[in-house]
Amino acid sequence: MNDERKQKIKDKVTQLLGDKVNADIVSFSLDRVIQSVANYTNIPIEELPPEIDTTITAMCVQLVQTHNWTNGNSDTVNSISEGDVSVNFGSPAEIYAKVQELNSITDDFFVDLNHFRRLQW
């Protein structure tokens, strides 16, 4: 994937998320998603077809929105429990560390990615 193509995806993600998103978060989520897609499809990053760009864009937007990375507060909700009401807060640094463990490919995207997936023997 060349830099121009990656920049177009980044611009689209930023446009869809609006002003409230940090450019570093968009870059990080894009790199994370591209690597996840390449790993899942068994296609090297340089060979990913342009037809997969809209799926990559949607995955980035979902990754950022699902984890509330657009929130400008220094304390972000980490978890909520209903029984005896409990709310846990965490710093962006804690959330950034946890994101390293995440799989950015959800069930919603497996169908799209399976069209491109190469099986290895």
pLDDT at 74: 45
Q: Is 56 among the domain residues?
A: yes
**pLDDT by residue (tens digit) across 64-121?**
887 777 755 445 555 555 565 555 656 555 655 555 555 556 657 877 887 788 877 6
Q: Is 103 among the domain residues?
A: yes
What is the number of alpha carbons within 13 Å of residue 75 lying toward its C-beta?
Answer: 4
Longest dimension (CA), the chain: 52
pTM of the model: 0.67
pLDDT at 73: 47
Q: At a CB cut-off of 8 Å and minimum separation 6, what does 104 contact?
A: 29, 32, 33, 36, 59, 63
Written as one string, the DSSP assignment of 90-104 is E-HHHHHHHHTT---
Q: Is 77 among the domain residues?
A: no
Instruction: Report the range of poorest mean pLDDT among 28-42, 51-65, 73-87.
Output: 73-87
Cβ proximity of 68 and 77 under 8 Å: yes
Provide the domain limits for residue 57. 3-70+88-116
- Structural domains counted in the chain: 1
Q: Quote the mean pLDDT of the chain.
A: 78
Percent of the chain with pLDDT over 90: 39
Q: Which two tokens stand for residue 56?
A: 């990559």
**Three-class DSSP category at 19:** coil
Q: Is 20 among the domain residues?
A: yes
Q: Is 81 among the domain residues?
A: no
The whole-angstrom separation of Cα 20 and Cα 72 is 8
Q: Is 100 among the domain residues?
A: yes
Average pLDDT over residues 18-47: 90
